[in-house]
Amino acid sequence: MELLQLLLASIILLGTGTAVFVLLIGFFPRFAAQGTAVIERSPSRALGVGLVNLFFLGTIILTLLALGQNVSQLFFIPALILLFALAAGILLGLIGLVLLLGQRLWPDKQPVTRHAYAAVLLLLAALCPFVGWFVLTPILLLVALGSCVMLLVGRVQQQRALFAEPGTTPDA
């Protein structure tokens, strides 16, 4: 009976995760396409940027949580906001990975089918014992976070260049 419950829960979670990825690709197609381009251009740079940002945000979040536990519970609010921002960045970066995986493995399929297959494959690979848990998943999450941060920084730089006064450089 417990095995049947575990199997049913696994199928529901796999279906839910797939639906989330396909839905996010549908809601943010440009962001997903740009994330795919960033990951294709420089996956190692995205990994490095993700690692640096995870350590930076992780340190701030853990510090705020410790202050919230010892000083005042008001410190929990910014810690939770940063934690949700970190999770959102990782999730938005993962849609670029799903899109890239689908394009590489099933280029001839319809887009929704391709995204669903890629999401299922990514989730199943991440659930693979030991290799998926301790090698693949952390690498994928760091690459996803790095690609999201690189995209957001690139957009800020583009906005700065757009609104710069004529005759000046955007960095000035």
Which residue, chain included where needed, has tokens 């670029």? 96
Q: What is the pLDDT of residue 162?
A: 80
Number of domains in the chain: 1
pLDDT given at position 166: 65
In a domain, 157, yes or no: no
pLDDT of residue 167: 61
pLDDT at position 65 is 95
Q: Tell me, yes or no, whether 132 lies in a domain.
A: yes
- Read off the tokens for 118: 């890629």
How far, in Å, CA of 126 to CA of 133, rounded?
6
Whether 121 maps to a domain, the answer reads: yes
What residues of the chain score a pLDDT lower than 50?
Answer: 172
Residue 87 lies in a domain: yes
- Does 171 reside within a domain? no
**In which domain, by residue range, is 46 found?**
17-152
Q: Record the tokens describing residue 64, joined without a space.
A: 């705020």
CA-to-CA separations, 23 to 31, 33, 35, 138, in angstroms, rounded: 13, 14, 16, 23
